[in-house]
Chains A and B, each alone.
Chain A
Amino acid sequence: MTTLTEATGTSAARETPARRRRRVDRLPYLLLLPCLAVIAVLLLWPLGQVVMMSFYKLDSVRQLRGDREWPWVGLANYAQILGDPFFRTVLRNTVLFAVANVALTMILGTLVGLLLNRLGRKMATFVASCVMLAWATPALTGTIVWKWIFDDTSGLVTWLFNKLPDGLSTTLFGRSDWTGYGWFNDPLLFFAILTLVVVWHSFPFIAVSVLAGLKSVPSELQEAARVDGAGPWRVFWSVTFPMLRPVFGILVVLSTIWDFKVFTQQFVLAGGTQDRPTFMLSIYSYAEAFSPPPKYGLGSAIAVILTLILLVVTGVYVRMVLRQEDES
């Protein structure tokens, strides 16, 4: 790296400012190349393969090995998926789940971020460490623990509900004995628990990012607003939020991407790919492609559809954010 800077420096000394700028402008792209090469090998190449596979009828591993022909079927895989009424259920599940989770994650994350900003140093460190622990827990292990918490016979939640006074429990829920209650039986309840797990996993990142943003906002602005008689609600929406708009923009985009492709938590909570009424796009794609008998073409087509939806959603949102920035 040192030789590189030296080389640029010595040649730059002899050049006019305009030429020098052009020279320097090329450097960032060169530095990006290694990264691009890795992305190309690990991401772009497989992505291209998935798109290609979605146009073929692939239902045998022998085809993947090249021992058998790949019959071209054009858009037949897409037609089959889009024409299947089950796809509408899956799409509805995915979209509703993502909307609910992005909203809840953002709200909870922002609130915790604001709290961390107000707390004293020691308390803030303590709360931040606790919150980060949730984020540091791997999705797989974290979800297994949640599954135990909701175990139908010896789970913590079952135990807590059993501790409720019988009369109260019966009035509220119509039952007093919760042992053996199927927490994951009803799709709505299943999604509620899944939301809890996913929000628990993802809000710490939002909280810390919002905190970082808040630290960069001069506190004088908020104080001035408060002196002028603005309540906390008004201060947030009129001062803090506009200042942090780019931060929120990127956080919403990231959360949307994460929540659209939730897989691990659902796979563990549902105990595999058996619970079809609660399918979302990513697990649907996986189940079609890899459950026997494999249908790699069909699974690829679902994955492409998921990718397209994500591109559209994030594209629209990024444009919205950019336009707002131009205006302000």
Chain B
Amino acid sequence: MNRWKRLAPVTAIVASAAMVLAGCGGSGDDEKAADNSKLTVWMMGEGGDAQNKFLDSVEAEFKKKHPETDVVVQYIPWLEAPKKFQAALAGGEGPDVTELGNTETQGWAAQEALADLSGKFNGWAEGKDILPDLVKNAQLDGKQYGVPWYAGVRSIFYRTDWFAEAGVKPPTNWDELVAAAKAVQAKKPGTYGIALPGNSELPFYSFLWSAGAEIATKQGDTWKSGYNTPEAQRAVKFWTDLVTVNKVAPPAAAGWNEIDARTQFSTGKAAMAFAGCWQGAAMKKDNPDIEKVWATFPIPGPDGKPAPAFAGGSDIALWKDSKRQDLAWDYMTVLLSKQKDKEFASSLGFFPVYKDLVSGGDYASDKVMSGCATAMQNTKLTPLTPKWVEVSRTKTVTQAMNSSVIKGQKTVEKATADAATEMESILNAK
């Protein structure tokens, strides 16, 4: 008896611990069913005054139809989003509506995180005007899992003052790009001609595509990588030669991602950098004065035509576990409406996703947006398969290929052949 008394506190601790654990799993499904007082929306990034003001206006519009519902917006940092999604999916407590990067929509659709919007989207009149490439990018197996919200393409930011001092013009082909980088670097010792993001893939694809190569194409049921072609090798050689032969970017560039590289530009250490037009705000945060001396031009192709650009941007999706699917869709149609899309995109340096808005805007006269507006006319996508995210994010096949050449570990031929093999084995895995 005595012993059991002594054990009592222990038993109590174990029991309460067990209850805590059980509490995590059991969410009262029934209570929630009729609760329309709150709609949770996840937005990516840090937000800011402009975005808050915009979202308040969206909420006001939405409340005209649903006065009883409060919209709660939470900001999720971009890099934390995958973990946050995973946790939400595992725990069963997610948002109702979420923003997500348009390269990730297919992956999360394959994880059954997102609701199938095909019926709702097809019945929504305004949606017909959204750029078809972007719409296709949010599909998996023919079903729509997200709606494009805004679009962005990368272009090259350059220092107008340094270009003037060195007497060079914005380049329009690959040779001019190297010549301009060399000229500025010679004029400004201690700086880099071009801040090459050697550990990023999206800017590189512009070079790959403009050389005439594809990342991968589907032939029947099998994916075939385009890296094992002379065109792709030409692109890899040009990209890596910027460091190894032309020396307009440093060896450390092998490890730089896009943020590392653009910081070199914004802090006055590089004459050119690849960046999306929406990243101007972040660069101004690094160095407010950079705004006075920057402009953009589209990434050039080898022969004088602008290179195709990856159509980046964000989608808005409906969380599959949401108990308020129709309410959430009503919110989405307000947020994504043509009028709101135009307001939002232009305040952040993005492009709206509607065909007529992109071509009709006055972007050509804006010194930052003009380079991107040109690139926006010729966009391409990465391979449309949920397995792509493994090539791109987990195995980082393209980044590893380029880095290994820059670091001198592989020849261009060996690196492209290895990357093609690895990519095909991932994309064709059962």
**A residues adjacent to B (C-beta < 8 A):** 4, 7, 30, 33-34, 37-38, 41, 60-62, 64-65, 152-153, 179-186, 271, 273-276, 287, 290-294
Contact = CB atoms under 8 A, between A and B. Distances in A.
Contact of A41 (B3, B17, B199, B269): B17
Interface stretch (B81-89, B219-227, B327-335, B365-373): B81-89
A153 B10 CA distance: 57
A186 B252 CA distance: 10
Contacts of B111: 60-62, 292-294
Interface in B319-352: none
Give the secondary structure class of A's interface: loop
A153 B269 contact: yes
Contacts of A181: 250-252
A37 B13 contact: yes
A237 B264 CA distance: 54
Contacts of B37: none
B112 interface: yes
B104 A180 contact: no
Interface stretch (B62-70, B233-241, B385-393): B385-393
Interface string B88-119: 01101000000000001001001111000000
Contact of A292 (B3, B7, B17, B393): B393
Interface residues of B, number: 49
A182 B254 contact: yes
A34 B14 CA distance: 8
B136 to A, nearest CB: 20
Contact of B90 (A4, A64, A185, A274): A64
Contact of A34 (B10, B21, B253): B10
A291 B393 contact: yes
Contacts of B190: 179
19 contacts: A7-B2, A30-B3, A33-B10, A37-B14, A38-B13, A41-B14, A41-B17, A61-B86, A62-B112, A152-B255, A180-B251, A180-B252, A182-B251, A182-B254, A184-B255, A292-B82, A292-B389, A293-B390, A293-B394
B382 interface: no
B10 A180 contact: no
A88 B336 CA distance: 50
Given A38-B13, A152-B255, A292-B394, 5 more contacts: A61-B111, A180-B192, A182-B251, A182-B254, A292-B82
Contacts of A65: 89-90, 92
B379 interface: no
A6 to B, nearest CB: 12
A188 B193 CA distance: 29
Interface in B382-407: 386-387, 389-390, 393-396, 399-400, 403, 406-407
A115 B199 CA distance: 45
Interface string B400-421: 1001001100000000000000
Contacts of A62: 89, 111-112
B172 interface: no
Contacts of A291: 390, 393-394
Interface in B5-20: 6-7, 9-10, 13-14, 17-18
B257 interface: yes
B406 to A, nearest CB: 8
Most B CB contacts (10 A, CB to CB) among A64, A291, A293 go to A293
Contacts of B86: 61, 290, 294
A276 to B, nearest CB: 7
A40 to B, nearest CB: 8
A292 B252 CA distance: 27
Contacts of A273: 394
B10 to A, nearest CB: 5
Given A65-B92, A180-B252, A274 B14 contact: no
Most B CB contacts (10 A, CB to CB) among A7, A62, A180 go to A180
Contacts of B2: 7
A37 B393 contact: no
A185 B13 contact: no
B129 to A, nearest CB: 31
Given A37-B14, A153-B264, A185 B254 contact: yes
A60 B112 contact: yes
A185 B390 contact: no
Given A37-B10, A62-B89, A274-B396, A292 B390 contact: yes
B340 to A, nearest CB: 30
A321 B254 CA distance: 46
Nearest to A190: B255
A186 B104 contact: no
Contacts of A38: 13, 17
A275 B86 CA distance: 23
